[in-house]
Amino acid sequence: MIAVAVFLLLPCACGRVTFNMSGASVAPAKTCQVNYVENRAEIVNPRLSLLITEGLKDKIQANSSLLLVNSNADVLFEGEISSYNVQPQSVTAAGMAAKDRLTVTVKIKFTNEVKPENSFDKSFSRFYEYTTGTAFTSIENTAVDDILEQLMDDIFNAAFSTW
């Protein structure tokens, strides 16, 4: 029992914990910078850039020990929204669309100054399907929130998960 207690308290005694329940490994990085994510999609949701930028900051603060800074960070996120579109997905027997899909694609450049081999420049895409005939404006906020939660997980895991 004492060994278990010592094992559980050991990370606290040694300083910064580099792993957490998400499997994230940020050591030896100490600082992180998240630049504003520009919206370059043909269809522009005016809230999306800020939601993605702040969502990524929130994800990092909640799941790592990194300190957010405005310049000269150990790790840097830059990006742009490259696509925001709605397309029909499934068709009824009468040839009409039965489901539509909102897809959001974000291109992220992650630069890791302390572990350059972990840097990447890639696109992340997620979607939300809904019944055709539903007013898009009535589901848009819910759809965006759902998509962004998944995108934040994908981006964070690509940058920091080592499993």
**What pLDDT, on a 0 to 100 scale, did the predictor assign at position 6?**
41
Percent of the chain with pLDDT over 90: 72
CA 2, chain centre distance (Å): 39
In whole angstroms, how far apart are CA 47 and each of 39, 59, 64, 109, 136? 10, 18, 26, 21, 16
Contact 104, 117 (CB under 8 A): no
Does any domain span residue 10?
A: no
How many C-alpha atoms does 103 have within 13 Å on its Cβ side? 15
Residue 17 within any structural domain of the chain = no
| Residue 103, domain member (yes or no) | yes
Residue 10 has pLDDT above 70, yes or no: no
Closest CA to 132 of 87, 93, 163: 87
Strands 75-91 and 97-112, sheet pairing: antiparallel
Residue type (1 letter), 25:
S
Which tens digit of pLDDT belongs to each residue from 28-55? 899 999 999 999 999 999 999 999 999 9
Domain assignment of residue 3, yes or no: no
Indicate whether 5 belongs to any domain: no
Q: Give the whole-angstrom CA distance, residue 38 versus residue 24.
A: 26
Q: What is the CATH number of the domain that holds 118?
A: 3.30.160.150
Distance CA 124, CA 117 (A): 19
Whether 52 maps to a domain, the answer reads yes
Dist. CA 93–CA 134, nearest whole Å: 19
Res 17 pLDDT > 60? no
How high is the pLDDT of residue 153?
A: 97
Confidence check: pLDDT of 150 > 50: yes
Q: What pLDDT score was predicted for residue 143? A: 97
Q: What is the average pLDDT value for the chain, to the nearest integer? A: 86
Give the range of the structural domain holding residue 84, as residue numbers without chain letter: 28-160
Q: Is the peptide bond before 11 cis (omega within 30 degrees of 0)?
A: no
Instruction: Look at the chain and report how many structural domains it folds into.
Output: 1
The enclosing H or E element of 117 equals none
Residue 74 lies in a domain: yes
**Per-residue model confidence (pLDDT) at position 26:** 80
Q: What tens digit of pLDDT does each residue of 73-125 get?
A: 999 999 999 999 999 887 776 777 789 999 999 999 999 999 999 999 999 99
Task: Please report whether residue 18 resides in a domain.
Answer: no
* pLDDT at residue 162, as a whole number: 65
Task: Give the span between the Cα atoms of 154 and 51, in whole angstroms.
Answer: 15
Interval 139-162 mean pLDDT: 95
